[in-house]
Amino acid sequence: MNIVIYGNEKLLMKQQLAKLKKKYHTDEENMSFIVYYLNETSMSEILSDALTPPFLSEYKMIVLRQPLFLTSEKQKEISEEDIIAFIDYLAHDNPTTIFVIYHDVMNFDKRKKAVKALRKYAKFYEIEKVNRHDLYKLAREAIKKREAIINDDALNLLLERTGDDLEAVSNQVEKLCLYTKNIQIQDVNRLVSRPIEENVFALTNAILSHDLSQVSFIYHDLMISNHEPIALIALIAYSLRNLYQVKLLERKGYSDKEMVSILGLNPRAVYPIRMNAKKFEIDDLLYKLHQLSELDVKIKTGMIDKKKGLELFLMLI
């Protein structure tokens, strides 16, 4: 049997795999559950194992993770002969092997023969991101299940800090419910760290507002969390670029929907970026982007240390 677990909601994907393991009574202990990666094991070995009958169990489950050859990316570990063998196995699979293709990014290339073969010979479990309304409902249910309560403000802050990640919401709910059975906004503030994007958004605003004390506070917070200076520079530049591009498109009369299409932004992100951009001058945004571009060149050519370079940029706002 061939199965595809495919999507971008990691927690639900893990749960689906766990259900299948339970259904077919497969586990690691009796060697009836095996996970493979193509950068560690060749396709021929994986398919050979799939064709081998299970030992001391009715079924065995083989999980192939990160199958990049099914996307538009190149996977150097796999040849054209491997892909032909893979397709042939799908068409003539071993009935005692549950062959699971597991991929947690929704980027299969529909044009590829192997993907078309999967559509023909495999059962698909496509698991998309949970929407905001359902996420809100699931979080409340999880808290209630743990005999705890949460007020609306605290729940809204929790979802802001965890984003659209159901697994992150689940982990934070567990932590909050262990801490208190009556979750208030101050509890979420204390226990749930702000996502790096939120910190960078606040840092960008502080830079553009020339608020050195706020810049120092946020930067210190980011350093405690061990964020790489190079990654922070890239995120600050991305945040500034979004502000600049949205401001420019708004001047030209584009709607939020059109901006989403042109810039590839999250639809929920455009409105706050547009409102935020109103506070700043377009020339100032361009100047800061130019400074970051120069800093990037200096770091890459060894003219300045990455951490010192970022700190100097922040101090000279």
Q: For the whole prediction, is pTM greater than 0.75?
A: no
Place of tokens 């030992």: 55
| pLDDT tens-digit series, residues 185-217 | 999 988 988 778 788 888 998 999 889 999 998
Specify which residues 100 forms β-bridges with: 3, 63
Q: Residue 147 has which token pair?
A: 């005999």
| pLDDT tens-digit series, residues 47-71 | 999 999 998 899 999 999 999 999 9
pLDDT for the residue numbered 292: 94
pLDDT for the residue numbered 267: 80
Burial class (CB in 10 A: 0-12, 13-18, 19+), 143: buried
Mean pLDDT of 9-31: 91
> Do 183 and 221 form a contact (C-beta atoms < 8 A)?
no
Q: Is 124 helix (H, G, I), strand (E, B) or coil?
A: strand
User: Where do the CATH 1.20.272.10 domains begin and end in the chain?
Assistant: 196-315
> Do 60 and 97 form a contact (C-beta atoms < 8 A)?
yes
Q: Residue 266 has which token pair?
A: 């999250």
User: Where do the CATH 1.10.8.60 domains begin and end in the chain?
Assistant: 132-191
> Do 158 and 191 form a contact (C-beta atoms < 8 A)?
no
Which CATH number fits the domain 2-127, given the four candidates 3.90.79.10, 3.30.465.10, 3.40.50.300, 2.115.10.20? 3.40.50.300
Which residues are CB-neighbours of 168 under 8 A, at least 6 positions away?
Answer: 162
Is the pLDDT confidence value at 225 over 80?
no
Which CATH number applies to 196-315? Answer: 1.20.272.10
Burial class (CB in 10 A: 0-12, 13-18, 19+), 138: middle
127: left (phi over 0), alpha (psi -120 to 50) or beta: beta
User: Where do the CATH 3.40.50.300 domains begin and end in the chain?
Assistant: 2-127
Which CATH number applies to 132-191? Answer: 1.10.8.60
* DSSP code of residue 74: -
pLDDT for the residue numbered 163: 77
Is the pLDDT confidence value at 164 over 80?
no
